[in-house]
Amino acid sequence: MTAIHLHNTLTNRLQPLDPVHKGEVRMYTCGPTVYDFAHIGNFRTFVFQDVLRRFLQSRKYRVLQVMNLTDVDDRIIQKAAAAGVSIREYTEKYVQAFLQDMDALHLEVPEELVRATDHIDDMVALIERLQKKGLTYSSEGSIYYSIAKFPHYGRLSKIDLAGMKTGLRVDVDQYEKENARDFALWKAPKPGEHFWETRIGPGRPGWHIECSAMAMKYLGDTLDIHTGGVDLAFPHHENEIAQSEAATGHPFVRLWLHAEHLIIDGEKMSKSLGNFFTLRDLFAKGHKPSTIRFLLLSVPYRRQLNFTSDSLKQAESSVARLRNFVSRLKVEQFPAGSSAEILKRAEKAETDFDAGLAGDLNTAMALAAVFDLVRDINTAMDRGEFLQQDAPRVVATMEKVDAILAVLVDDDDDKLAKLGFGQSQERMPAERIETLIEERNAAKKRRDFKRSDDIRQQLADSGIIVEDTKDGSVRWKYK
């Protein structure tokens, strides 16, 4: 098996995965700030993280993934106050929405999905450790981290501090800081704002401390992998390193992985440009969860993904090709027997798929391996060279790759229905469909094509596509 290599932002090169604990990968993946519905760009990163964990599992690693839910920050405090509800009450809605969205996209639930506000004590303890080491200072009730005291500051994002002057007052945060880049570990409460009464005083946590505290609580001082979107590399992840390593004296993370952004029609997604989409916006427009998942994972994570209506169409067609293939394998009847060649071919597909992912999660390469197999087997079937006993083997290959891709099972309607995007009409039950197909078969037999086509049309009107195959069997699928 090809050794797994991943691009480490810290060193800017491909490095082998080398877990601290044998057979187990511990990773921290930056999750959403739950002040609103997550948008499609967020999910680009989350799908990447999901593909990563699924791939590691396919390599038989135990995966211990921690994902944070940032449920306290300026926006949340403001919005909750404006709505006249508690922070918890305000964020709960979006936490639930996030879980539903995850489910719709087949994102596996991390082993630990943790809320910042449940870990205030852990953050306070970590801040105290930093205080004891003399790395912090207080100003107007807030506590800051003095980056001048952390020699490696800037290593991840390659930010050069040499040109920066200390003592300059830069009023970016309406707080007093010694250095513009110093960041708040703990923020003094503002009048009327929600705050926590703690050993280090009243207030609320700064943004970065939650990730350091929760990551180390669940994963230990040194994590194997930490991921997030590229925008988080600075300052968020840089600050996490400073906090964590200064506190423990150990390297915080072995591999830093950053997903490039998704852009829309070549432009940054933003509310002001009017090209801002949540998952639900896309569902409402009739796009399927599987289409979106496929599109998000089809472009390797370190490459910007240009999200367009055309790319959505292409993704939908690609998924259909894969699903048609599996359906054909399951329904069509082939000559009895089995062939060593086909078995080898299936094995090769699995190997190539795996090798593609092993090379920094090159999903484009991995998908090519799958499509190569699809074409070759389809060709064999058309030529009558494909044998019945091989069908389950090839299906198994497809199931294996789908353990990572997670787009083959056609549950789009179910997922949409769960979110309230179901079609207006009830789905025709499978039994009824089978009955109609039998009727149609009978009609075909007596060459009553008028009747036969009427039934096909009737089914089509109910959103069911009927396909005749060479061997006389009929397969159907929901549109």
Partner RNA sequence: GGCGCGGUACCCAAGUGGUAAGGGAGAGGUCUGCAAAACCUUCAUACGCGAGUUCGAUUCUCGCCCGCGCCUCCA
- Considering the complex, what minimum distance in angstroms separates the CB of residue 311 from RNA? 5
Nearer to RNA, 185 or 421 (CB): 185
Which residues, including other chains, have CB under 8 Å from residue 454's CB and lie 6 or more apart? none
Provide, rounded to whole angstroms, the least separation between the CB of residue 314 and RNA.
Answer: 4
CB 224 within 8 A of CB 20: yes
Cβ contacts of residue 305 below 8 Å, gap of 6+?
44, 260, 261, 262, 263, 295, 296, 299
Q: Which is nearer to RNA, 92 or 468 (CB)?
A: 468
CA 79 – CA 84 distance, rounded (Å)? 8
Q: Looking at residue 119, what DSSP letter applies?
A: G
Contact call for residues 453 and 436 (beta carbons, < 8 A): no
Q: Cβ of residue 216: shortest distance to RNA, in angstroms? A: 19
A 10 A CB-CB count for 102 gives 23
Q: Are strands 253-259 and 201-205 parallel, antiparallel or unpaired?
A: unpaired
- Chain-centroid distance, C-alpha 407: 13
| Residue 335 neighbours by CB under 8 Å, 6+ apart | 384, 387, 388
Output phi, psi for 100, to 5 deg: -65, -40
Contact 31, 112 (CB under 8 A): no
Q: Select 139 or 324, whichever has its Cβ closest to RNA.
A: 324
Which CB sits closer to RNA, 51 or 259? 259
- Residue among 354 and 421 whose Cβ is closer to RNA: 354
Distance, in Å, from the CA atom of 417 to the CA atom of 423, rounded to the nearest integer, reads 8
CB of 23 to RNA, least distance (A): 27
* Shortest Å, Cβ 374 to RNA: 6
Q: What is the identity of the amino acid at 347? A: E
* Closest approach of RNA to the CB of residue 12, in Å: 6
Handedness of CA 91, 109, 360, 207 (dihedral sign): positive
Work out how close the CB of 257 gets to RNA at its nearest, in angstroms, rounded to a whole number.
10
Type of residue numbered 116: A
Name the one residue in this structure whose structure tokens are 């061997």. Answer: 471
Smallest separation (angstroms) from RNA to the CB of 101: 13
Of 152 and 313, the one with the shorter C-beta distance to RNA is 313
CB nearer to RNA: pick between 44 and 254: 44
Determine contact, residues 201/140, Cβ cutoff 8 Å.
Answer: no
CB of 145 to RNA, least distance (A): 12
Q: Which of 450, 452, 412 is nearest to 436 (CA)?
A: 452
Question: Minimum CB separation from RNA for residue 249, in Å?
Answer: 26
Report the residue number, 25 or 72, with the smaller CB distance to RNA: 72
Q: Please give the order of strands across the beta sheet that includes 196-198.
A: 136-139, 142-145, 183-187, 201-205, 196-198
What minimum distance in Å lies between the beta carbon of 442 and RNA?
12
Q: Could you tell me the two tokens for 227? A: 């991921």
Strands 24-29, 62-69: pairing is parallel
Q: Which is nearer to RNA, 25 or 67 (CB)?
A: 67
> Who contacts 69 (Cβ-Cβ below 8 Å, separation ≥6)?
31, 32, 34, 91, 95, 98, 113, 114, 115, 116
For residues 159 and 178, give the distance between their C-alpha atoms in angstroms, rounded to a whole number. Answer: 18
17 vs 263 by CB, closer to RNA: 263
CB of 5 to RNA, least distance (A): 11
Q: For RNA, which is the closer residue by CB, 218 or 307? A: 307
Q: Kindly tell me which of 33 and 244 has the beta carbon lying closer to RNA.
A: 33
The rounded radius of gyration (Å) of the Cα atoms in the chain is 27
Residue 262: which H helix or E strand, with range?
Answer: strand 262-264
